[in-house]
Structure 1
Amino acid sequence: MPNARALRRAHRRTATAELRNRRRANREHRDLTERIKVSEFLTILGMEESDVDRYGSVAGRYIVSEYRAAHHGHQPRQTRKRTKPCKGYPKGRWIKVFVYPLAHPALLAGCAKYKRTADYVPAA
């Protein structure tokens, strides 16, 4: 008859393997959904690159507030993006940016709230 320590160890190993398999399945599902940055979305809407550089950050703030309102305060997923070269950073620097599912309604709602990007949002 196995002792209590052996039973706990076996239970932990089983629970760990089950959690690993669950995470693997979630990762595969998560990778199937295409995610997009705000700058890419504004480019799709037809905004010029200079305007995206100029107004993209503020538009992103409006979009993230819409996302948080729709998801009970949760943050969207993050990724890293290299900025354009600037003084002190000849290769650009890495910053964290939010990414959203391509068809998420917060993208259009946030752009519609910001007056600089509202003209690019198609009428619904």
Structure 2
Amino acid sequence: MSAAAARRTRRRTAAAVLRTRRAENRAHRDATTRVKVSDYLAGLGMPTEDIDRYGSWAGRYIVSEYRSAHHGHEPRKTRKRTAPCKGHPNGRWIKVNVYRLTDPALSAGAGTYKRTAPFVAAAFTTAA
């Protein structure tokens, strides 16, 4: 076998291994439930008006906690349609962060923000 053929075989094998690994990771990633901050706050029992009003700030605290816990890495993103407004009768698409439901950054970040802290405290005192 020539050197070029050996390199070609190694590259093809490495590519096949990488494809298999990516497929396994994708299946694992898709099996985990991810939530947006608004869904998490709704699960804590926060009123919809307050979620619309304070959800963005709560998200900033949560993403800050996530970055500090994960060595500066960003959380995964998804898109969300906003409510209709002037100039956008159907709403518009914005990018938002999504987290695993079990991620400690959700409770830590929402517990740090003064507007959402009472809801987090109430959820964990009744659960305990």
Match of 1:100 in 2: 99
1:89: Cα distance to partner? 1.0
Output the CA distance in 1 between the equivalents of 2:4 and 2:104: 52
Task: Return the TM-score normalized by structure 2.
Answer: 0.91
Unaligned runs of 5+ in 2: none
Match of 1:14 in 2: 13
The alignment's C-alpha RMSD in Å is 1.1
Matched, 1:113 2:79: no
Output the CA distance in 1 between the equivalents of 2:90 and 2:59: 24
Q: Counterpart amino acid of 1:28?
A: A
Task: Return the TM-score normalized by structure 1.
Answer: 0.94
Unaligned runs of 5+ in 1: none
Output the CA distance in 1 between the equivalents of 2:84 and 2:16: 45
Alignment of 1:67-106 (within 5 A): 67-106=66-105
Between stretches 32-41 and 81-90, larger displacement belongs to: 81-90
Percentage identity across paired residues of the two chains: 65
Q: Counterpart amino acid of 1:9?
A: R
Q: Counterpart amino acid of 1:22?
A: R
Output the CA distance in 1 between the equivalents of 2:102 and 2:5: 50
Alignment of 1:4-83 (within 5 A): 4-83=3-82
SS of residue in 2 equivalent to 1:51: helix
SS of residue in 1 equivalent to 2:87: coil
Moved over 2 A (4+): none
Output the CA distance in 1 between the equivalents of 2:82 and 2:7: 50
Q: Counterpart amino acid of 2:119?
A: Y
Q: Please list the CA deviations of residues 20-70 of structure 1 after superposition, one character each: whole Å capped at 9, or x if unmatched.
A: 000000111111110000000000001111110110000000000011111
